[in-house]
């Protein structure tokens, strides 16, 4: 059963024009999520696995919990997924800033690490064409392309983890709040 904006507004006590089509007050959620997303992005630069797979879901769960305490309207998993997508985008934005600062401050070291890995992979691959392509990634243009491909991949991870964590958090909270028969 799909709730209308008016029904959500009546349950939550918020005027219908402030709820929006999704039933989420984005400004309110973003104010809660932004500081946690900034910390998540920073930690993901320093410790990628911990930031992405532990802190992002945990901070999203906390942000949704805080949001739901002030806005107790019923939520669906899709709304949680959209909230997770926003948290993922905010976290990625923070990650991007800190990542680019780290690269800028350590350009020679970054280049050395990436080129070293590319050459190591190229040496293990017997295909001549694959070796040539991998050697192209060691050039300046190739390194920029490689970095952009890496960032797009990380963005996809942030979105997938955020959306799935948000949907799961809302669904589990809904299941926990159901009356027992």
What average pLDDT does range 58-63 have in this prediction? 96
pLDDT of 82 strictly over 70: yes
Q: Is residue 143 part of a domain?
A: yes
> Which positions ≥6 away from 174 have C-beta within 8 Å?
74, 75, 77
pLDDT of residue 169: 92
pLDDT digits (tens, 9 = 90+) for 89-118: 999 999 999 999 999 999 999 999 999 998
CA 76, CA 60: separation in Å to the nearest integer? Answer: 15
Contact 56, 88 (CB under 8 A): yes
Q: Which of 75, 72, 53, 71 is nearest to 164 (CA)?
A: 53
pLDDT of 74 strictly over 90: no
Average pLDDT, the chain: 87
In the chain, how many domains are there? 1
Q: Is residue 180 part of a domain?
A: no
Determine the structural domain holding residue 123 and report its residue range.
Answer: 5-175
Q: Is residue 107 part of a domain?
A: yes
pLDDT digits (tens, 9 = 90+) for 136-180: 988 999 999 999 999 999 999 999 999 999 999 998 887 666 555
Q: Is residue 181 part of a domain?
A: no
């Amino acid at each position: 059963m799909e709730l209308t904006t008016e029904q959500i507004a009546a349950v939550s006590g918020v005027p219908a024009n402030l709820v929006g089509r999704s039933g989420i007050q984005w400004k309110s959620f973003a104010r809660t999520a932004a500081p946690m997303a900034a910390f998540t992005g920073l930690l993901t630069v320093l410790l990628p696995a911990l930031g992405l797979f532990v802190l992002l879901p945990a901070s999203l769960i906390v942000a949704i919990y805080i949001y739901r305490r002030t806005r107790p309207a019923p939520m669906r998993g899709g709304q949680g997924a959209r909230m997770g997508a926003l948290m993922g985008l905010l976290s990625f934005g923070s990650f991007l800033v800190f990542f680019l600062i780290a690269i800028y401050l350590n350009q020679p070291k970054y280049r050395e690490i990436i080129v070293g890995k590319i050459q190591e992979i190229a040496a293990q691959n017997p295909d001549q064409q694959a070796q040539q392509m991998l050697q192209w990634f060691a050039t300046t243009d190739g390194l920029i392309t490689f970095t952009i491909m890496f960032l797009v991949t990380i963005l996809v991870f942030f979105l997938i983890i955020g959306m799935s964590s948000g949907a799961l958090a809302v669904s589990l909270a809904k299941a926990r709040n159901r009356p027992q028969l």
